[in-house]
A = this chain, B = another copy of it.
Amino acid sequence: MKLSNKTDYAMRALFTLVEHYGRGPIPIPELARRNEVPKPFLEHIMLEMKKQGWVRSTVGKNGGYSLAKSPDQITMGEVVRHFDGILAPIACVSASHYEPCSQRPVCRFRRVFLEIRNQVTRQMDRASLAAVFTAALTQRQDMSIDEYAEDGEV
């Protein structure tokens, strides 16, 4: 159920770019340093994101990466889907990576995963970089898991 480092790294870099949005490019060495991502690995990640149209690059001295779209036009769902391929817990309930399952007529638990998939995708697709970023500004960053768990829905 875990997402890859790649997705994590991509997201870190993206939010750094969000923070700097409208103020010129940031070079990879800087992005790598700030987010503790291995530089050569981040190169590939940024390149993929460029191909997706999320970031743009300027080469040469003083170059680097910046967002290619407004932060409210990129969602975490898109990013995770691109790098991890699937948001659903099991392929028979995935829209993007659907695979038929011969057990379907007799499967008892498919419904549970279907509900989970729906909740996860709803959250992820709602989570634009802009929304997440501004929400983070008004929240404590050090909240513990248990603390939050009693917190109810948000």
Bitwise, A121-154 to B at CB < 8 A (1) or not (0) is 0011001000011011001011101101100001
The copy count of this chain in the complex is 2
A59 within 8 A of B: no
- A141 adjacent to B107 (CB under 8 Å): yes
- A135 adjacent to B111 (CB under 8 Å): yes
A41 within 8 A of B: no
CA distance A102 to B33 in the complex (A): 13
A31 within 8 A of B: no
CA distance A116 to B102 in the complex (A): 29
Given contacts A36-B102, A106-B141, contact A1 B89 (CB under 8 A): yes
- A123 adjacent to B114 (CB under 8 Å): no
Judged by DSSP, the binding face of A is helix
- B149 adjacent to A118 (CB under 8 Å): yes
- B120 adjacent to A120 (CB under 8 Å): yes
Residue of B nearest to A12 (CB): B103
How many residues of chain A are within 8 Å of chain B by beta carbon? 57
- Can you list 25 pairs linking A and B with CB atoms under 8 Å apart? A1-B84, A2-B89, A8-B90, A11-B109, A35-B103, A36-B102, A36-B103, A76-B109, A76-B112, A93-B145, A104-B141, A105-B142, A107-B141, A108-B136, A109-B127, A109-B132, A111-B135, A112-B123, A112-B124, A112-B127, A114-B145, A116-B119, A116-B120, A119-B119, A119-B120
